[in-house]
Structure 1
């Protein structure tokens, strides 16, 4: 794992992009769940 020194390594950017994508999916699932209540 690379350490962050001023600039963000590509791996971290990928990680945050994946995290963002996962949160978007969770958001959709929650919205779907709430709409069925």
Structure 2
């Protein structure tokens, strides 16, 4: 999921990443990836 996509428009990017539609979880998911 791209950093620019935090509004929840997953259809635009074609991603199924839950973090894309959940800004709070997006940061957490990014941290967990490191």
Please tell me the TM-score bracket, short chain as reference. Answer: 0.3 to 0.5
Task: Write 1 or 2 for the structure with the bigger share of helix.
Answer: 1
Structure with higher Rg: it is 1
User: Greater relative contact order (Cα 8 A, min sep 6): structure 1 or 2?
Assistant: 2
* TM-score of the pair, normalised by structure 2: 0.35
* TM-score of the pair, normalised by structure 1: 0.34
